[in-house]
Chains A and B, each alone.
Chain A
Amino acid sequence: MAKYICAICGFVYDEEKGLPEAGIKPNTKWKNLPSDWVCPICGAVKSDFQKADDLPSNDVNKLAPVVEHLDSMKEMSPLQISALCTNLARGCEKQYKSQEASLFKELAEYYRSISPRENNPDVSQLVELIKKDLEEGYANANAVASKAKDRGALRALVWSEKVTRILNSLLTRYKKEGEAMTDNTGVYVCTICGFIYVGDKLPDVCPVCKVPNFKFEKIEGGHEHA
């Protein structure tokens, strides 16, 4: 009998115990769980679980850094500058500087408004970008940040990588279920780390960054481009 651990929130599925409250009897093997089974805490799909014995060691030296050199500001898209500005607005709010915060928000709004529209946006492009982030982006950035002993960067990378895995999980489900996936169910985003929860039983704390769930925002609509 083995145990499987959710890479996003740490939930443990123990084959011996099963999940009687969800109708899964004790001694139910991992491979016999339905393929559309998701983590009861955070909603991750089965492929985001790892067998307890197979957890990789944290040997950062194994990761070969592939550093792309970018000329900082010139590379930023308007949408990215908009995120820089909303980030600085948050920084001002933390310091109780409300005038500065609202000026940064206005500036962010300006950059958002001049951001060019994607020509032929498609879900498969999201899948590709997420795949690249998960395969290269985080490995590279984690290796570099570990080497520099940059705690803040490592913290941001842990959150963002977990959130990206959940987005990947949701896209996997979306491919099977389509738009119906969000019919008659809640969609929430954690306003601190960006974790997305699709379902009706919000976890008490965010599975990624652990803030209490009153910091989640319920998402409504989203059909205005239709």
Chain B
Amino acid sequence: MLKKYAVRNIRLCTKDCLCLYVCPTGATDTENSIIDITKCLGCGDCAEACPSGAISMVPFEYPNQQEKTDEVVSSLKSLAISKSKQESIAIGLTGTLFKAFQISNHIQTEDLIREAGYMLPQSENTLVFLNSQLEGNQSKDFPKEKVKLLIELLSKNKVKEKMKDKTYENLMAAFTGEAEANRKYIAYAIKAEKEGKLNAAKLFRAASDAETIHALKHFEVAGKIGSTANNLKDGVAGETHEYKEMYPDFVKEAKESGNKAAEMTFTFAMKAEQTHAHLYQEALDNIDETEEVFYFLCPICGNIEKSVPDKCSICGASGSKFIKY
């Protein structure tokens, strides 16, 4: 799932420079200056390039509301009560000084309340507050529909409460471990098959499938599976990172250390990931297209094409070896 998206601060932006061409998907190129969130991959290239500091990477999910002790909340609130009272008295007094007192006390009340557990608009505390206002006895002028709308809007990007960070980390660590074990056991099964140790091979195959079951469940419970559009975006982001940043370094280091086999496997993967990123983006652009598309996988290097080539464009393998999807 995407973690962040880019937002442009129009007050700082001069609209005439770098983000337009560093963006891999054209999300920054819009008529109204608002970055197109449906195209944004969350890669941060635009924010890094912007000389005006006008682009921020905004998280989809904010951290939990900080836990506040009851004592802290009540001592801040009793000060806030005093400030509100002072605001109220200042409203009743005349003169510029007391107008300033009103505003000053209002700002102080805001800040004290913010630190008493109301920093984030989408936190549970805010939603509880809004709901309590709906339930209470209100005058006929109470903007009930607006409060309902607020609750609906804020619930959409509600902060995930109570998923303890540690448990989330553990789920992701277990996912990585299980995913790794799955591939490892397949490698061991292939080896065992070649050696004719068929019982061992069978066990490795079964165990590798078991690890897949575990990995998928952990990933799901961690809340990492989004809509298909978002998953495609995540695919583009992941593959782009690999072919642009990760593999170029790996290839260079393998070359320097003289490890030819590593250099080759990294190079194949790097080129294949680039085609994957491209295909994911294409699938995202045509997400509502219903006409069936076929993909052909090169079993040697992992290249994917949309028609069978004579030879694999990356590793040169014969087109007859390609597997159809």
Contacts and interface: CB of A to CB of B under 8 A. Distances in A.
Interface of A: 65, 67-70, 72-73, 75-77, 79-84, 86-88, 90-92, 95-97, 99-100, 103-104, 106-107, 110, 113-115, 117-118, 121-123, 125-126, 129-130, 132-133, 137-138, 140-141, 144-145, 147-148, 150, 152-153, 155-157, 159-160, 163-164, 167, 170, 174, 179, 181-182, 187-196, 198, 217, 219-226
B72 A137 contact: no
Interface stretch (B83-91, B214-222, B296-304): B83-91
B173 to A, nearest CB: 28
Given A83-B84, A148-B69, A194-B103, A75 B153 contact: no
Contacts of A72: 73, 77
B101 A126 contact: yes
B124 to A, nearest CB: 13
A191 B146 CA distance: 26
B79 A189 contact: no
Nearest to A220: B96
16 contacts: A67-B71, A68-B75, A80-B80, A83-B80, A91-B114, A104-B150, A107-B143, A118-B89, A126-B86, A141-B75, A159-B108, A160-B83, A181-B97, A193-B111, A219-B100, A223-B96
B126 interface: yes
Contact of B88 (A92, A115, A198): A115
B83, B85, B103, B126: which has the most chain A beta carbons within 10 Å?
Answer: B83
A79 B88 contact: yes
Contacts, number: 240
B139 interface: yes
B121 A92 contact: yes
A167 B114 CA distance: 21
Contacts of A91: 114, 119-121
A223 B99 CA distance: 9
Given A95-B58, A144-B71, A104 B153 contact: no
A28 to B, nearest CB: 30
Nearest to A173: B97
A194 B96 contact: no
A80 B76 CA distance: 12
Interface residues on B, range: 35 or more
B100 A84 contact: no
A196 B81 contact: no
B208 interface: no
A152 B146 CA distance: 30
B105 interface: yes
B150 A223 contact: no
Contacts of A167: 101, 104
Given A129-B86, A187-B100, A198-B97, A106 B143 contact: yes
Contact of B75 (A81, A144, A217): A144
B7 interface: yes
A125, A130, A224: which has the most chain B beta carbons within 10 Å?
Answer: A125
B75 A225 contact: no
A90 B99 contact: no
B58 A96 contact: yes
A220 B115 CA distance: 30
A113 B62 CA distance: 32
For the complex of A and B, list the 5 residue pairs with the smallest distance between their C-beta atoms, beginning with the closest.
Answer: A121-B92, A222-B99, A194-B107, A194-B104, A83-B109
Given A117-B92, A126-B86, A189 B100 contact: yes
Contact of B121 (A100, A113, A125): A100
Contacts of A106: 143, 146
B4 interface: no
Given A107-B150, A187-B100, A130 B86 contact: yes
B96 A97 contact: no
Given A126-B86, A130-B86, A150-B68, A193 B96 contact: no
A97 B97 CA distance: 33
Contacts of B109: 79-80, 83
Given A194-B105, A219-B99, A223-B95, A144 B113 contact: no
Contact of B94 (A68, A148, A196, A226): A226
A108 B132 CA distance: 15
B78 interface: yes
B113 A223 contact: no
B85 A145 contact: no
A70 B78 contact: yes
Given A99-B153, A222-B98, 10 more contacts: A80-B80, A80-B113, A84-B118, A91-B120, A104-B121, A152-B66, A152-B119, A160-B112, A170-B97, A188-B100
B92 A219 contact: no
Contacts of A141: 72, 75-76, 78-79
A182 B139 contact: no
B142 interface: yes
A148 B257 CA distance: 53
A217 B103 contact: yes
